[in-house]
Amino acid sequence: MANTLGIIKPDGVRRRLVGKIIDKIENAGLIIRGLKTLRLSREQAEKFYAVHESKPFYKSLVEFMTSGPIVVMVIGGHGSIERWRELMGATDPAKAKYNTIRREFATSVEKNVVHGSDGPDTAKTEIAFFFKEDEILPKE
């Protein structure tokens, strides 16, 4: 029962979608185990998305991710990594399934409202990027 990292990106916060997104997470039976708001520095955004450094969209992505506050969440519950990815939908909202967050709310491939870790290893490092051990609710 691994935890995963979720982010409500600057577009989601700006458009006041925080409540709606958390509602979907909880309605899916997943659990918010950690939550905070912050604004990424350029250095933090570059480091968080370092895996995409060589991509043509990297610079714009860093610009976007630092454009306003974000909400970072530790999401737990059975199958949280896969299930949060499912709730988010495909990266490109045009390809995302109906009833996914990106299909419903995203305005472009870049401005796609949410982030989710893509596997157990990234979940671990991405959670540690934002949360100390004692900021995460223990599993029951």
Question: 91 is in the binding site of which of ligand IDP, Mg ion, none (Cβ under 5 to 8 A by kind)?
Answer: ligand IDP
Out of Mg ion, ligand IDP, none, what residue 61 binds, judged by CB under 5 to 8 A for its kind, is: ligand IDP
Residue of 40, 115, 123, 130 with catalytic role: 115
Annotated active-site residue 52? The verdict is no
Residue 102, C-beta contacts closer than 8 angstroms, at least 6 positions apart: 88, 89, 90, 91, 93, 96, 112, 113, 114
Return the one option of ligand IDP, Mg ion, none that residue 110 interacts with (CB less than 5 to 8 A, by type): ligand IDP
**Of the residues 4, 80, 100, 112, which one makes contact with ligand IDP according to CB under 6 A:** 112
Would you count residue 115 as binding ligand IDP (CB under 6 A)? Answer: yes
Which positions are annotated as active-site residues?
A: 115
Task: List residues near Mg ion by CB under 5 A.
Answer: 118
